[in-house]
Amino acid sequence: MKVRPEQLPETLDRGLAPVYFIAGDEPFQLREAQDAVRAAARVQGYTEREVLDVVPGFDWGRLAEVGANLSLFGDRRVVELRMPSGKPGQDGGKAFAAYAERPAEDTVLLVTSGKLEARSRKSAWIKALDQVGVVVEVWPVEPGELPRWLAARMQAAGLQPTPDAVRLLAERNEGNLMAAVQEVEKLRLLVGEGQVDLETVRGAVADSARYDVFDLVSAALQGDARRVVRVLRGLEEEGVEPVLVLWALSRELRVVCQLREAGGRGDEVMRRHGVFGPRRGPLQQAARRASSARWQSLLARGARVDRTIKGAAPGRPWDELLQLSLAIAGADTVSARVSLE
């Protein structure tokens, strides 16, 4: 049975399955899902714990031994199998399928894995585990989804946040779910159960957002000037090298320029530049927003920013990067900066 991370607690309340497979690359949600299974198992008397780490050369016969061997003390047990990648290989796939046919008695098998690839999701071993147990895939919470995710967490904690309060909390904790959850807990302790407004969040919540250069690129391509300023400030405060920021912006500018010139051959341009998945949408959106001449001028502007970074032209690199990023977003640089200060 496949469930989303937020559905897992309700699933556990209905009883334990013999197998839980939890995969993904978002650390906080991955850890939270594992902890939920462990806690539910403890409540139901699964007191013994055994850990198997899948390392190079791992003997998959050890999984079969889990089913053959009784608990050391005759207690119910949780066997955790930690698999860093989502690729168990042929031997691992066969071992999972065999275990699913006859799960060990008085045992919960908790498998944690890195992100699954599309091929793995369709594999026989995943289907076997899905039939006998619970499969949970954890995905990063995208910036656009974070307010909804936080609002649900706050409501579950007995808080009644206003939309502005949720927005500010999301802005200050973007990319850092652990910090976001800690701030929700802090608000619950400060406010108790009740309404949380913008001023309460502003006074109580620290700015714990974490960004990378691709967050900036995405915001600029989608025309989100407010987020452009916020992310760029965060990158500067974190000590990111300006040349790395310019590289990311210039890379996407080159793709947008070629998309404008390609006409109906946009897919060919995307393939040539290795653009897949979520990266495609913002690029297509940006290409439709302005003319080819406009994008070519911004690419040339990037070359001038490069000279500033290298000290060959006057100016402050981070100011020039802000102006370029806002121009990519389609914002009037002066008014945008004033409104966001």
Note whether 83 and 113 are within 8 A (CB): yes
Say whether 76 sits in a helix, a strand or coil: strand
pLDDT, residue 264, reads 63
CA dist., res. 6 & res. 20, Å (int)? 15
Residues 306 and 226 both lie in one domain: yes
Residues 174 and 106 in one domain: no
Domain containing 227 — which CATH number? 1.20.272.10
In a 10 Å sphere around its CB, with 0-12 CB exposed, 13-18 middle and 19+ buried, how is residue 258 labelled?
Answer: buried
Phi/psi-derived region of residue 163, left when phi > 0, alpha when psi is between -120 and 50, beta in every other case: alpha
Same domain, 157 and 282: no
Q: In the chain, how many domains are there?
A: 3
**Higher-confidence position of 1 and 337:** 1
Section 234-258 average pLDDT:
90
Give the list of residues 6+ apart from residue 198 with CB closer than 8 angstroms, or none.
162, 164, 165, 168
Q: How far is CA 270 from CA 266, 281, 287, in A?
A: 6, 11, 12
pLDDT digits 0-9 by tens, 3-56: 988 889 999 999 999 999 999 888 888 999 999 999 999 999 998 888 999 888
- Average pLDDT estimate for 317-324: 94
CA angle 188, 194, 195 (to 5 degrees): 105
Per the structure, the complete domain to which residue 151 belongs is given by 146-204
Of the pLDDT bands very low, low, confident and very high (cuts 50, 70, 90), residue 190 is confident
- Choosing from 117, 138, 159, the residue where a domain stops is 138
Which of 20-24, 200-204, 284-288 bottoms out in mean pLDDT, i.e. has the lowest? 200-204
Same domain, yes or no: 151 and 134: no
Question: Quick one: 49 and 116 in the same domain?
Answer: yes
- What pLDDT does 133 receive? 94
Residue at token pair 């026989």:
124
Query: Which of 179, 204, 229 is a domain's end point?
Result: 204
Is residue 127 located within the same domain as residue 164?
no
- At residue 69, the pLDDT reads 64
Which residues does 261 contact at the CB level (< 8 Å), separation at least 6?
Answer: 292
Report the C-alpha dihedral over residues 57, 61, 67, 69, rounded to 10 degrees. -90
Same domain, 200 and 129: no
**Could you tell me which residue, 22 or 176, shows the higher pLDDT?**
22
Residue 11: give its domain's CATH number. Answer: 3.40.50.300
Say yes or no: 24 and 130 in one domain.
yes
- State the Cα–Cα distance between residues 192 and 200, nearest whole angstrom: 12
